[in-house]
Amino acid sequence: MEHPMNRILVVDDNAKAREHLASAARVPGVEVVTAGSVAEAIQRIAHEIFYVVVTDLQLETSQSGLEVLTAAKERDIYTQVIVITAYGTPEISVRCMALGAFDYLEKNSPGTDALAMINKKVQLAIEFRNAKLREGGVQ
């Protein structure tokens, strides 16, 4: 049976930001799809397996990205979730990681090119996912 193309889901309620994130998340051999709300993201997650989910933390509410994170991990434990925010705190960073996020990234960190970081983190997340699948004996 042929595997469907590797997919990445990018979630942001701001169309311009979503476009930039989707562009940054593109890596060879991977299809990037987007969602503009928590509901749309959760619906996509319910029907498709994603290698990586990149979600903004602050969607409809200040922490609704955590709903996307939780839905993704419940659907497929191997899905790697990268949470990004412009309003980071140490507490929310810890909470994201406790919920199983692969990584947490603050968009506005001084001296950081967040979009370049996203691309690197997506590549690492795919490698990590594949390693976890091999460990688990799943192909």
Q: What residues does each domain of the chain span? A: 6-135
Per-residue confidence (pLDDT) for residue 2, from 0 to 100: 40
pTM of the model: 0.91
Q: What is the mean pLDDT of residues 102-131?
A: 89
Give the span between the Cα atoms of 107 and 23, in whole angstroms: 15
Could you read off the pLDDT of 33-77 as tens digits, one per residue? 999 999 999 999 999 999 999 999 999 888 899 999 999 999 999
Q: Which CATH class is domain 6-135?
A: alpha beta
Q: What is the mean pLDDT of residues 88-92?
A: 86
Per-residue confidence (pLDDT) for residue 42, from 0 to 100: 97
Q: Percent of the chain, pLDDT > 90?
A: 73
